[in-house]
Amino acid sequence: MADSSAITHEAVFPPALVQGKNDFHSITETVCGVLEAPKPPKSWYMIFGTAVALLGVLGAMIVYLIATGVGVWGNNQPVAWGWPIVNFVFWVGIGHAGTLISAVLFLFRQDWRTGINRFSEAMTIFAVICAGMFPAIHVGRIWVIWWVFPLPNQMSMWPNFRSPLLWDVFAVSTYFSVSLLFWYMGLVPDLATVRDRAKTKARRFWYGLFALGWNGSNRQWHRYERAYLLLAALATPLVLSVHSVVSFDFATSQLPGWHTTIFPPYFVAGAIFSGFAMVLTLSIPARKIFGLEELITMRHIDNMCKVIMATGMMVGYAYAMEFFMAWYSGNEYEGFAFINRAFGPYWWAYWIMVSCNVLSPQIFWSKKMRNNLTVVFIMSIFVNIGMWFERFVITVTSLNRDFLPSSWHYFSPTWVDVLTLLGSFGLFFTFFMLFCRYLPQVAISEVKNVLPEAHPHHEDH
Amino acid sequence: MSHDMSNVPSSSEPEMYGLMAEFHDVNTLCAAASKVREAGYRHWDCHTPFPVHGLDDHMGIKFTKLPWIVLFMGLLGLGSAILMQWWMNAYDYPYDISGKPVWSIPANVPVMFELTVLFSAFTAFFAMWIMNGLPRWYNPLLRKERFARATDDRFFISIEAKDGLYNEADTTAFLQGLGADHIESVEEPAERTKLPSNLKGKLIVAACLLFVPPAMVYNSYGKTTTKTRVHLVPDMDMQPRFRAQGASAFFADGRMSRQPVEGTVAQGELNLDTAWHQGKDGADYVQKIPSVVDEAMLDRGRQRFGIYCAPCHGHDGRGQGTVHKRASLLTDQGHAQWVPPTDLSAKRILEQPAGMIYETIAQGRNNMPAYAVQMPVADRWAVVAYTQALGLAQATAGPSEEELNTMTPAQRGEILFKDKTCNACHSIDGSVILGPPLNGRFGKDASLADGTTVLFDDAYVIESIKDPNAKMATGGLPGMVMAPLPTSDEEIADLIEYMKTLK
Amino acid sequence: MTSHDLQLGGDNQAGDVAPRVARVGFALGVIGIAAAAGLGYLTDGEDGPTHFWFAYLVGFAFILTIGMGAMFFTIIQHLVNAHWSVTVRRLAEVTMRTVPMIGLLGLPLLYPLLSHDVTIWQWADAGHHEVAADHGAAAGGALSDEALAHKLESELHHSLVEHKGGFLNTNFFIARLAGYFLIWWLLARFFFRKSVEQDTADGIEPTLRMKKFSAPSVILFALTLSFAAFDLLMSLDETWFSTIFGVYIFSGAFLSSVAWLVVMAKYLQRKGRLTEVIHDEHYHDLGKWMFAFTFFWGYIAFSQFMLIWYANIPEETHFYAWRILPAWHGWSWFLLIGHFIIPFGGLLSRHVKRNTNVLLGWAVYILCMHWIDLYWIVMPNFHRGEVDFANPFSAVEVLLAIGMFGILVGLVAKRLGGQSLVALRDPLLGKSLGFKNL
């Protein structure tokens, strides 16, 4: 009984964000220890090796694609948007948690973000790189991809600003740039820490170069914190806008199942949902491999599970609203599109999506499940799968039932589609493993800030 | 410290940067910071491994102006986005996309938003570093071993030597009084690595050179040239095309053109309206053109007729076109056989239903080829309308020029006699209509109104037609005056020949 | 000041302020509504009664959304374990507790729902009106093109209404509304009672209970509010639909309730209450929420508009097409600029958010704009079908807005009297009193 009352008590007074007997120095040691170790753990080599191999597969697929043409993919009429856009939206969605954790939770004064924000910001950047790759290679002639930007060219033409696809170019590139700045800005004080601990000249030079000469000046901290707050305040609506714009790609059309007004917030919720799942997928092994359990605690994982449950519920709300409105609108095409989703040729994809995204996160109502790392890890992968299928369901089920029944066509991916998706994971994990090895995985200065002794007069309380 | 100097006899007294004092916790630091501020120091700073909240107040740091700069740049980004989208899509290169206005503000909002955020975020980031004086990779403090803990777990106050209140001994004592664990003086290094000479000048030259390629591009922008253009993307500029009726190895049937899918009809080609599309109502030809015939349609028909029909049928539709003339010439020389084109004013043509003429145009007849490929349906009907009008006009207009040329002058004169409406006043049977009858007059004397007589000969006829009142003849109703008619000399000659035949 | 010092002193009791304000509020309410009814029924011509009932719905939705926003505010604070808001949470709870009473104010709307004399929900009277239309068509004999188009349109309309009949019919409608208010009553009562119980409790058991039920409560809240928005407001235009509409109404509800909290807190502080409990930091945070939801409202409103504008499908566009007709054009622009651009610029600066008097001005402004928003949603349905879609704006709406708001003030003031103005023994109160914004 005493145990259960402690748990309920924790609901209001959560445990400390930094576990164990940590002080400022031990936090520095823990985080820097990972990148100062002469050799990474064995598991690092295994994952990195696999990732690089997959990256090679991706490279081969891209070369094959560009040398041959986009006909090597399964895309065709009427499913002109096949796996590439599914993968694009999937990766962009994953790329949302980083900025959400950094910016939105910062604005909400959720201190627990400090343990995982560096991690997820890095993840964001790598995920957006993976995402941006798909539209870039799908154009076929990748060497003229610069035509998507409003640059003067020999044809005296300008891009069409009324097209949601161009909004995407602006939204994703803005998001990438701002996320990169945000990430790098957070890294600077920590790079200075690594610089000041460096034992070799090369380390001192390279970390010193990127630390910009940071010396912890409080006059600089003042502007730094203000700029950080401003970037957070700017990045928050930016996160909303990016996935909203991605949703516009679909929703501005007149295709049943695509054109519905709830798409923007629904996509944003789904993006956060999948992003948090990916953070869990990455952080559960990482904290174990690199010994960060005292900084990325069970409380962090518990909170992320709750966010997943909440956003999963929002996604469920959107599914329900779409279905209700498909009937309520009295629009027979809309009605057909939704019946077709659930019971048409792609019924299996639909039910994978619903069970992974809406039903399975319900397990997190139980605190016991939220504290079981195996369960949480498996659930996070389920959510990743479910969210990939959500994009697949939206894209393919709506397109494959064209207004012209003679065009109806069952879409199947080619082996190139499949290997490109797998290869994109290689790209992601290669970057991620390099990050884990060479950059501080936890925001050292921010975690120090949540220790009680970081606040003047803390003894008074 | 002084013994250090003796080791470096060549250099003078090292320049002092200032003092640094080390503290081990935030409370002491905050209290010390307050004291330093109260003592009136200006060039000093605290160094902490993380932002210590509340320290700003202890140090008396004024709130940064950064938000205002960011706001300004954000608005600039918004303005740029509006201007850019207006200029590119509504002004410089306007084109229609799904019926949206070229200047569609709702569609421009996403990019406006993104650029606002982009400008603001870049400003927040870069302006923060600039205001902080970073990057600055060199700092005397960073040379101190103990100072490395400023990014780990210790807190420092540094006071610079350039501060007015700075005095090494007094300031050291002052800092000691604030509870510092350790105090150390910081020197400027004796020698600094020199920058390459004239770095600024070189950078400026390099920056200027960077502008050359865009300037060259700008200079050639929108100009014409006789030189072969550079093909940046050759496979888009010169791509293989499929031509109708061409051969292709790609498709199994070896043809470039694709047949429509079996059992399908392309949109707009169902052509259920047989009257319009085939000129037939059931099995029968439609009698009339199944649309409103107006001037515009006839005009179009005249134009198309001139292009497609006149080469054979002639501009007058009599079947005397240039092709026919040439063909006749060759036939005459025995080089070819030729079926002459139909005279469109022939009675059998005039009696044809409109639908049949349409069918002839569309499908051809005898050795006339089909024109369906060249002429869309509406044009065919326009030609039908023009053909009918032309035939009708020609049928009532008398002989063609060609025929006139083969006639005797007298025969031509007879036609002219009617054409020029001479027969309205002059009879040829001796009766009096208005003017004197003209039969049996030529070569004889004619009495004039003034009582004299004149010989009715070539000269008199010419004069009478050109100036009828010069010599008024009798024999008509009294008081009648003939109006002059514009008539050429050749026509007058023909009329004379005709008059000679009138007995 | 820490939580240990807080007592149930005069500072934290409404005392004699409450009954005085309640009297003024109720008086305003009765006078406002009665005067509006008088104007509507006696002087406003043939359409007067309908006009009155439309305006009544606007006023009703106005105070209901404020109450519902406060309910969300209360529940979400428990869900996320927020500490900053503890000092103002009681004000939100009191507002939330008035929702069941506001429900009673909705009972008169049964009259336009059931009576054929006054119609505001067209579907409820569909059969009744259809007969008259058929008569007109039959008498005309052969149909002109225009009449034919009109006939086809009305047939389509008829079939749509018939299609929705399983959902949009009076009995089910009344049952649903009763269900929503029942759920809201249970939620409001639970969170209010537990919170008051915590004031005198020794442990934190009531807080833990509230926390435990907060997650399922939010789900119930989201579903009921969305469907209530569909029923009360969206179905006024029975053929129109928008999946985001529930979120749209929610954004306005939350925004207006935060503004209302600022107004309440400022008023009570001017009367010498809560002076040591609510300080600049809390106003700063309330201001941030107003700013954030001004933006969120703009985001949702733009998403809905842009998608409908872009796809340009007639079955959806008529909602906006009506509202850009000359009579409503200015009002729509006013909404865009007044509900989004002006408060966005106005609330951007932290100085504004920390200057409580200026913030009070913005709060009042936002409440007015929220009413304008609801008016813009409801009133174009009044003269629809007529060529000019006249904007009926007159004293009737203003009187009803004042009257309804008066009733909200009265209900809240009456509730204020019973207990402490601050959640006394909330475990996070100490943190709330001590926090500072970055």
In order of their start, the domains of chain A are 16-460 (1.20.1630.10)
Contact across the interface for A170 and B129, Cβ inside 8 Å: no
Chain center to CA of B87 = 16
The predicted pLDDT at position B32 comes to 86
CB-nearest partner of B50 from A143, A214, A445: A445
Instruction: Judge if B443 and B394 occupy the same domain.
Output: no
Domain boundary among B154, B189, B224: B189
B106 touches chain C (CB under 8 A): yes
pLDDT class of C438 with cuts at 50, 70, 90: low
pLDDT class of C66 with cuts at 50, 70, 90: very high
pLDDT class of A85 with cuts at 50, 70, 90: very high
pLDDT surpasses 80 at A148: yes
Contact residues, chain C, for A254 at CB < 8 Å: 311, 313
Contact residues, chain C, for B71 at CB < 8 Å: 348
Residue C420 sits at φ, ψ, to 5 deg, of -60, 150
C115-125 burial, b at 16+ Cβ within 10 Å, e below that, comes to eeebbbbbbbb
pLDDT surpasses 90 at B218: no
- Tell me what the mean pLDDT of segment A405-420 comes to: 89
The predicted pLDDT at position B98 comes to 80
Condensed to tens digits (0 to 9), the pLDDT of residues C337-355 reads: 999 999 998 988 888 888 9
Q: Is-cis flag, bond preceding A413, omega within 30?
A: no
The predicted pLDDT at position A459 comes to 46
Q: Which two tokens stand for residue A138?
A: 């799908």
pLDDT surpasses 50 at B4: no
The predicted pLDDT at position C10 comes to 58
Contact across the interface for C306 and B107, Cβ inside 8 Å: yes
Residue B410, number of CB atoms within 10 A of its CB? 16
Closest approach of chain A CAs to the CA of C308, in angstroms?
Answer: 7
List the 212-271 stretch of B: residues with Cβ below 8 A of A.
217, 221-222, 229-230, 232-233, 235-236, 261, 264
Does residue B300 belong to any structural domain of this protein? yes
pLDDT surpasses 80 at A431: yes
- Tell me what the mean pLDDT of segment B436-459 comes to: 83
Closest approach of chain C CAs to the CA of A423, in angstroms?
Answer: 35
Q: What is the pTM of this model?
A: 0.80
Does residue B245 belong to any structural domain of this protein? no
The predicted pLDDT at position B42 comes to 86
Contact across the interface for C438 and A252, Cβ inside 8 Å: no
* Rounded distance between C-alpha atoms, residue A99 and residue A238, angstroms: 9
Pick C272 or C143 by higher pLDDT.
Answer: C272
pLDDT surpasses 90 at C176: yes
pLDDT surpasses 50 at C365: yes
Instruction: Judge if B395 and B419 occupy the same domain.
Output: no
The predicted pLDDT at position A457 comes to 65
The predicted pLDDT at position A69 comes to 85
Chain center to CA of B458 = 67
pLDDT surpasses 80 at C55: yes
Cβ contacts below 8 Å, chain A against chain B, sum to 227
The predicted pLDDT at position B6 comes to 41
Contact across the interface for C219 and A313, Cβ inside 8 Å: yes
Instruction: Judge if B297 and B184 occupy the same domain.
Output: no
Q: Which two tokens stand for residue B39?
A: 């003592």
Contact across the interface for C305 and B109, Cβ inside 8 Å: no
Domain boundary among B137, B159, B189: B189
Rg, Å, chain C Cα set = 23
Contact across the interface for B109 and C306, Cβ inside 8 Å: yes
Closest approach of chain B CAs to the CA of A233, in angstroms?
Answer: 10
Cβ contacts below 8 Å, chain B against chain C, sum to 16
Contact residues, chain A, for C217 at CB < 8 Å: none
| Amino acid, single-letter form, for residue C151 | K
Contact across the interface for C310 and B106, Cβ inside 8 Å: yes
Condensed to tens digits (0 to 9), the pLDDT of residues A189-212 reads: 999 999 888 888 888 889 988 989
pLDDT class of B298 with cuts at 50, 70, 90: very high
Contact residues, chain A, for C160 at CB < 8 Å: 330
The predicted pLDDT at position C134 comes to 47
The predicted pLDDT at position B24 comes to 84
pLDDT class of C6 with cuts at 50, 70, 90: low
pLDDT class of B13 with cuts at 50, 70, 90: low
| Residue C179 neighbours by CB under 8 Å, 6+ apart | C224
Domain boundary among B356, B373, B400: B400
**For B338-488, where are the alpha helices, taking DSSP H only?**
347-350, 354-363, 377-396, 401-406, 409-419, 458-466
* Rounded distance between C-alpha atoms, residue B318 and residue B304, angstroms: 17
Number of residues in chain B:
503
Mutation pick from C295, C296, C309 vs chain B, by most beta carbons of B within 10 Å, is: C309
Contact across the interface for B109 and C309, Cβ inside 8 Å: no
- Tell me what the mean pLDDT of segment A91-99 comes to: 87
pLDDT surpasses 80 at B195: no
Does residue B169 belong to any structural domain of this protein? yes
* Rounded distance between C-alpha atoms, residue A177 and residue A450, angstroms: 28
The predicted pLDDT at position C140 comes to 46
- Tell me what the mean pLDDT of segment B402-430 comes to: 82
What residue of A is the nearest CA neighbor of C156? A330
Instruction: Judge if B160 and B71 occupy the same domain.
Output: yes
Domain coverage including residue B412: 407-501
The predicted pLDDT at position A7 comes to 46
Condensed to tens digits (0 to 9), the pLDDT of residues A306-358 reads: 889 999 999 999 999 999 999 998 888 989 999 999 998 999 999 999 999 99
Q: What is the mean pLDDT of chain C?
A: 86
CB-nearest partner of A321 from C160, C212, C243: C243
Residue C149, number of CB atoms within 10 A of its CB? 11
Contact across the interface for B107 and C348, Cβ inside 8 Å: no
The predicted pLDDT at position B109 comes to 92
Instruction: Judge if B428 and B396 occupy the same domain.
Output: no
Contact across the interface for C207 and A237, Cβ inside 8 Å: no
* Rounded distance between C-alpha atoms, residue C151 and residue B250, angstroms: 54
At residue B185, the 3 state secondary structure works out as: strand
Q: Which has the closest alpha carbon to A10: A370, A285, A313, A361?
A: A370
Contact residues, chain C, for B100 at CB < 8 Å: 310
Closest approach of chain C CAs to the CA of A254, in angstroms?
Answer: 6
Instruction: Judge if B29 and B131 occupy the same domain.
Output: yes
What residue of A is the nearest CA neighbor of B70? A230
The predicted pLDDT at position C58 comes to 93
Give the lowest-confidence range in A315-319, B186-190, C221-225, C308-312: B186-190
Closest approach of chain B CAs to the CA of A68, in angstroms?
Answer: 14
Contact across the interface for C243 and A261, Cβ inside 8 Å: yes
pLDDT surpasses 70 at B8: no
Q: What is the DSSP string of A190-227?
A: HHHHHHHH--SHHHHHHHHHHHTT---BHHHHHHHHHH
Contact across the interface for A13 and C427, Cβ inside 8 Å: yes
Contact across the interface for C204 and A9, Cβ inside 8 Å: yes
Instruction: Judge if B369 and B435 occupy the same domain.
Output: no
Instruction: Judge if B38 and B149 occupy the same domain.
Output: yes
Condensed to tens digits (0 to 9), the pLDDT of residues C117-168 reads: 888 888 887 655 544 444 444 444 556 777 777 787 788 888 888 888 888 8
Contact across the interface for A252 and C242, Cβ inside 8 Å: no
Instruction: Judge if B107 and B64 occupy the same domain.
Output: yes
A318 touches chain C (CB under 8 A): yes
Contact across the interface for B56 and A222, Cβ inside 8 Å: yes
CB-nearest partner of A265 from C222, C300, C306: C300
The predicted pLDDT at position A2 comes to 38
Give the lowest-confidence range in A135-149, B75-89, C19-33: A135-149
Instruction: Judge if B385 and B440 occupy the same domain.
Output: no
Q: Strands B280-281 and B284-285: what pairing? A: antiparallel
What residue of C is the nearest CA neighbor of B101? C310
Residue with tokens 């909002």: B109
Condensed to tens digits (0 to 9), the pLDDT of residues B474-500 reads: 877 777 778 777 788 888 888 888 888
Does residue B236 belong to any structural domain of this protein? no
User: Are A170 and B110 a contacting pair, CB within 8 Å?
Assistant: yes
| Amino acid, single-letter form, for residue C179 | G
The predicted pLDDT at position C2 comes to 47
The predicted pLDDT at position B235 comes to 75
A461 touches chain B (CB under 8 A): no
The predicted pLDDT at position A151 comes to 87
| Amino acid, single-letter form, for residue A305 | C
Query: CA C426, C431, C433, C435 torsion: positive or negative?
Result: negative
Instruction: Judge if B457 and B377 occupy the same domain.
Output: no
pLDDT surpasses 60 at C4: no
Closest approach of chain A CAs to the CA of B202, in angstroms?
Answer: 23
**For A212-292, where are the alpha helices, taking DSSP H only?**
218-251, 263-289
Total domains present in chain B: 3
What residue of B is the nearest CA neighbor of C311? B98
CA distances from C94 to C74, C75, C188, C266 (A): 10, 13, 9, 16
Contact across the interface for C438 and B71, Cβ inside 8 Å: no
The predicted pLDDT at position C132 comes to 43
Give the lowest-confidence range in A133-137, B224-228, C357-361: B224-228
Q: Is-cis flag, bond preceding C392, omega within 30?
A: no
Residue B6 sits at φ, ψ, to 5 deg, of -65, -25
B32 touches chain A (CB under 8 A): no
Q: Which chains touch C (3 or more CB pairs under 8 A)?
A: A, B
B109 touches chain C (CB under 8 A): yes
- Tell me what the mean pLDDT of segment C307-333 comes to: 89
Contact residues, chain A, for C4 at CB < 8 Å: none
pLDDT class of A108 with cuts at 50, 70, 90: confident
Instruction: Judge if B54 and B167 occupy the same domain.
Output: yes
The predicted pLDDT at position C94 comes to 92
Contact across the interface for C313 and A259, Cβ inside 8 Å: yes
Chain center to CA of C304 = 19
Condensed to tens digits (0 to 9), the pLDDT of residues B83-119 reads: 999 999 999 888 888 888 888 888 999 999 999 999 9
A46 touches chain B (CB under 8 A): no
* Rounded distance between C-alpha atoms, residue C98 and residue B193, angstroms: 75
* Rounded distance between C-alpha atoms, residue B309 and residue B387, angstroms: 9
Q: Which two tokens stand for residue A54?
A: 């997959």
Contact residues, chain B, for C306 at CB < 8 Å: 106-107, 109
Give the start-to-end residue ranges of the domains of chain C: 3-121+168-434
